[in-house]
Amino acid sequence: MLGAIGSRPYNGPMNPAAESELAVPGLRYRIAALGLAQITAWGTLYYAIAVLAAPMGASLQLSPTVIYGGFSVALLASGFISPWVGRRIDRDGGRSTLMLAALLGGLAFVVLGVAENAFSYFCAWLLAGLAMGCGLYDAVLAVLNRLAPGAGYRRAVTGLTLFGGFASTVFWPVTHCLVTYADWRTACWLYALLQWGFCLPLYRWAVPVLPVAPAPVSATAAPVATPRSPRRFAALAAAFALVSFAFSVLSAHLIELLGEAHLSVADAVAVGAAFGPMQVLARMVEFGLAPRSRAVTVGRVAFGLMAVALLTLSLIDGQRWLAFTFALLYGASNGILTIVRGTVPAELFGRENYGALLGALALPSFVAKAVAPLLFALTLSAGISHAHAMLGLAAAGALAFISFEIARYRA
């Protein structure tokens, strides 16, 4: 599947726009390595909190608000550094940035594994947030912009995300087993080893040393959208932020929400594990359709599926078939949305200074991700029912679809 991506030799320094039209040797294998690292990065840094939250809170005697507050700190940190990360990758190709992500991720889990109070707990998540900002999809997509040829970039993004779709499928059950048969600290130490012993060497091998591109005239003002399209840029950023809010709530609270919907923990874990295969299946379909469809058309489908999935979640009430219908819809939508985040901006705004563009789009999404788990926990603690809270998520999905439709038309 990755074989369709270009294989012309890499020929040395070029200007940034031209350089993105070149392919490095062995690109398909480099994408596979990046994909394996993304499974581990997302599975440990992002998805594990849904399973670790309860045992960590009980052990550290911290409330759910504080537990999810630490995760929010991580997401805020990742959002605030994302523009800097994008500009850095535009200049040097991203090898050192991804390696830094693995180093920080491992250190974060070591600190979390020895945490004894709220201060050390928050320090751990601050480090984890810096690792997320340097090494999750927005950063890796910016790296692909430097590695993949122009016509092959979209297929390269899909190839990468085919791997990442397995993160929740692998790491929710693995984390559940570690917590059940060992403890949450053991899980943290194992995840530190995975960051240092698995992700770090993969990043070092997968991303070659690229020539440093010239800095833009203003080092702090790389263009992110044309002057004629600021409202389109804002609408697209809002659409991504709204689905990021819902995604973050579900990543942190899904087990709890499904429990309140009268499903067992085992069923809830199974529903979460179903996301991965559906993400991968949806990405395979997108891979086949890519030569014949515009990225914005795929985006319409993805945002529509998300709105329907979130509405379905609010209707489960103990019905397992509805729970798995939600998993299929949500998994397919989230799988395609990952590709949409990397391809629609290129179609609407072009690929010049693409790391900076993705970083600017990522900032509101990361802020939304950051506030979502804590805000949702506070909403529930204020007495809002789970049913009404899930309807609120459905409304966010509908607003995201509307915002994307606005972005499709020239402002």
DSSP collapsed to 3 states, the chain: CHHHCCCCCCCCCCCHHHHCCCCCCCHHHHHHHHHHHHHHHHHHHHHCHHHHHHHHHHHHCCCHHHHHHHHHHHHHHHHHHHHHHHHHHHHHCCHHHHHHHHHHHHHHHHHHHCCCCHHHHHHHHHHHHHHHHHHCHHHHHHHHHHHCCHHHHHHHHHHHHHHHCCHHHHHHHHHHHHHHHCCHHHHHHHHHHHHHHHHHHHHHHHCCCCCCCCCCCCCCCCCCCCCCCHHHHHHHHHHHHHHHHHHHHHHHHHHHHHHHCCCCHHHHHHHHHHHHHHHHHHHHHHHHHHHHCCHHHHHHHHHHHHHHHHHHHCCCCCCHHHHHHHHHHHHHHHHHHHHHHHHHHHHHHCCCCHHHHHHHHHHHHHHHHHHHHHHHHHHHHCCCCHHHHHHHHHHHHHHHHHHHHHHHCCC
Q: Which CATH superfamily is domain 24-211+222-408 in?
A: MFS general substrate transporter like domains (1.20.1250.20)
Domain ranges of the chain: 24-211+222-408
pLDDT tens, N- to C-terminus, the chain (411 residues): 343 333 333 333 333 433 334 456 788 899 999 999 999 999 999 889 888 998 999 999 998 888 888 988 998 898 889 889 988 998 888 899 999 999 999 999 999 999 999 999 999 999 999 999 999 988 998 888 888 766 678 778 888 877 876 787 789 889 989 999 999 999 999 999 999 999 999 999 999 887 666 555 444 444 444 435 788 889 999 999 999 999 888 877 787 888 888 888 788 878 877 877 887 788 888 877 766 788 899 999 999 999 999 999 888 887 888 888 999 999 899 889 988 988 888 888 887 788 888 888 888 888 888 888 778 878 887 878 878 888 889 999 999 999 999 998 754
